[in-house]
Structure 1
Amino acid sequence: MCGTGVLACAAALRKIFGCGKKFLLFACATDDYGETSNSELMSTTATTARPQPESRLNAVSSRFSDAIFILQASRPGLWSTQVWFFLLPLGQRNVFHSTAFWLGVFYCTFPLGLLLYGWNDCVDFEIDRINPRKGTFLFGARGTLDQLHRLPLAMALVQAPFVLAFLYLVGPKVLLFFAGSIAIGGMLYNWPRYGWKGRPPLELLNQSGYLLVFVLSSWLNGAPQLPWQTMLFSTLFAMHSHLFGEIMDIEPDRTSGRRTTATVIGRIWTKLLIAALLAAECGLVFVFFHDMILSGFLLASSLWFVVDAAFFWRARPYTPGQMKFALLAWNIIALASMPWVWWRASLTVLH
């Protein structure tokens, strides 16, 4: 019955988010992504196909390509941020012997990334075709129509064992986490025509869904929920991170007609908005948590975006190499700061 439920859920979600047959109708008009055209199909069926010696190799290659696509769809470049959020409620708590802790850490990499970002790839197929960032492990997948059609099923199958494990460890309340992640990260943000993704500035408010990672972490590890000041800081953090991604995507978003905060106010004002959010984060950390190191880092980051907007890149787009460098640098910072975040526990308790 569990398997039947997963399949039914995948079929329903595929229909909702446009990965079904209606979404794929225009596949017949293009061969760009490896689809077989009508003329090729007629030619093939008109002759007797002989077994090809390379057929097995092609099948293995296809499976490998599908695996790479699913892995890229989970946005490995953002795994460290998700794990960083998972660790935040656990400052100075001895959780490293706990199976629930390590299961949660692993879940916040590939499985959670696939749940949160897989819908984007289904809905954003046409935009991703012209986005130079896509098709990478850092920034996400650029799948074929056939791969996108199968993606919701893969997402459901990946989630199923964690739903069962977390039900055993936490109880029925953990279903609220999965329901909230699907509702906020999937439906509210990506729903065709009505989703917040194309309704600035609502797409920024949608980033508050990342707070569910804190809730899951506290439940799995028996830790108290974080104070509202930490929740507010983390929401602002997620918003400024999302804005930085929008800056990178201004050109493909404008070409496709998508409205985002960055396409509406422009690159310079978006950088200044990021600077303002970072300054607000700095103020929260300094006033409520008295963490001079973290507040100093946030202030320096805020000043950097002001200088960037005024003197350096200004309204010029970043190159793909610069985008990769920025995300790689952030991953290094996130990974290096994890032990410090746990040891200091500066955002866990008010001072």
Structure 2
Amino acid sequence: MWFVLIWFYLWPTGGYWSVFHSFPFYIGLLSSTLPLNLLMFGINDMVDFDVDQLHTRKGSYIFGARASRSELAQLPLLMAVIILCPIVVLAVMATERVNSALWVLCFLLCNIVYNVPPVALARKPYDLHGEMVDIEGDAKCGKNTTVVKLGRLKAQWLMWTLTACAALVTYILLGSVVLTTYYLIDLALSVYGHTRGAGSLEKDTTTIFKVQSILGILYLFFAWSSQVFA
């Protein structure tokens, strides 16, 4: 999951090899690994303790830990220390780097709005793709996601339709055959996984997630070096 934030960090710098000669660039890149991921998933784990106890996929290296309440209680201090370290380094290097703290603050606020009541967007019908595998546990705990609202079958068809539209829009606007192919492969894997039956869904979900992650990492390097999004 770390590569999602790394991708967002690298995206604006696509093809600009000079950034690799900038020390602040590496501080930001490092921040996109453990610090920001710990902040994002740590808040989610603290708020979703009840739901995570019902998700069989949790408690693994792939989908994250199922932490105890005592372990989760240690997260706020740990997150604060890990997040502040790169900010302090940037602030010491140059005064204008203090602006980095504003980005981290915005990141924190977005995660609070997404996870923490009274807003808690994660428990409202907005997310789709990421909540497909959690439909049973979410329904039991009152997480009113899109998948819970629509039901598994309708949500699957909606997700497949949106993925197909994303592939079409990508080809029309960017002309990227590689990215369009990536979307189509992602769509095919999703359809395959959800037509295998409930008995093998969990095993297939893990396998498909690994394949999608590998393809995503490979595409990250291609898209960055070829300036697909420039």
The two structures have a TM-score, normalised by structure 2, of: 0.88
Please name the residue that 2:51 is paired with: 127
Q: Are 2:182 and 2:215, in contact at CA under 8 Å, matched by a contact in 1?
A: no
d(CA) in 2 for partners of 1:81 and 1:154?
Answer: 22
Question: Larger C-alpha radius of gyration, 1 or 2?
Answer: 1
d(CA) in 1 for partners of 2:51 and 2:61?
Answer: 18
Structure 1 unaligned blocks of 5 or more: 1-77, 205-242
Please name the residue that 1:346 is paired with: 228
Structure 1 residues 269, 344: CA separation in 2 closer, same or farther (over 3 Å shift)? same
Please name the residue that 1:8 is paired with: none
d(CA) in 1 for partners of 2:54 and 2:206?
Answer: 17
Q: 1:99 aligns with which of 6, 12, 23?
A: 23
Q: CA offsets, 1:236-285, max 9 Å, x none?
A: xxxxxxx3331111111122222111111111222222222222322332
Structure 1 residues 135, 302: CA separation in 2 closer, same or farther (over 3 Å shift)? closer
Q: CA offsets, 1:184-210, max 9 Å, x none?
A: 12x211122431111212xx3xxxxxx
d(CA) in 2 for partners of 1:166 and 1:276?
Answer: 43
d(CA) in 2 for partners of 1:165 and 1:317?
Answer: 50
Structure 1 residues 305, 343: CA separation in 2 closer, same or farther (over 3 Å shift)? same
**Size of the alignment, in residue pairs?**
227
Please name the residue that 2:108 is paired with: 182
- The alpha carbon displacement at 1:124 in A equals 1.1
Q: CA offsets, 1:134-154, max 9 Å, x none?
A: 122221221111111121111
| Alignment of structure 1 residues 180-259 onto 2, 5 Å | 180-185=106-111, 187-201=112-126, 204=127, 243-259=128-144
Please name the residue that 2:41 is paired with: 117
Please name the residue that 1:213 is paired with: none
Please name the residue that 2:77 is paired with: 153
d(CA) in 1 for partners of 2:177 and 2:202?
Answer: 34
Q: Are 2:193 and 2:201, in contact at CA under 8 Å, matched by a contact in 1?
A: no
Structure 1 residues 317, 88: CA separation in 2 closer, same or farther (over 3 Å shift)? farther
Q: Are 1:79 and 1:108, in contact at CA under 8 Å, matched by a contact in 2?
A: yes
Structure 1 residues 178, 318: CA separation in 2 closer, same or farther (over 3 Å shift)? farther
Q: After the TM superposition, which parts of structure 1 deviate over 3 Å for at least 4 consecutive aligned residues?
A: 166-170, 299-309, 316-320
d(CA) in 1 for partners of 2:228 and 2:186?
Answer: 19
- The alpha carbon displacement at 1:337 in A equals 2.1
Structure 1 residues 317, 155: CA separation in 2 closer, same or farther (over 3 Å shift)? farther
Q: 2:2 aligns with which of 71, 74, 79?
A: 79
d(CA) in 1 for partners of 2:14 and 2:144?
Answer: 39
| Alignment of structure 1 residues 303-342 onto 2, 5 Å | 305=190, 312-313=195-196, 316=198, 319-342=201-224
Q: Are 2:10 and 2:224, in contact at CA under 8 Å, matched by a contact in 1?
A: yes
Q: Are 1:276 and 1:302, in contact at CA under 8 Å, matched by a contact in 2?
A: no
Return the letter of the residue paired with 2:109. A
Return the letter of the residue paired with 2:215. I
Q: 2:171 aligns with which of 273, 283, 286?
A: 286
CA RMSD of aligned residues (A): 2.2
- The alpha carbon displacement at 1:181 in A equals 0.7
d(CA) in 2 for partners of 1:157 and 1:307?
Answer: 43
- The alpha carbon displacement at 1:99 in A equals 2.0
Q: CA offsets, 1:123-169, max 9 Å, x none?
A: 11121112111122221221111111121111111111122134345
Please name the residue that 1:172 is paired with: 98
Structure 1 residues 194, 86: CA separation in 2 closer, same or farther (over 3 Å shift)? closer
Sequence identity percentage = 27
Please name the residue that 1:62 is paired with: none
d(CA) in 1 for partners of 2:207 and 2:193?
Answer: 16
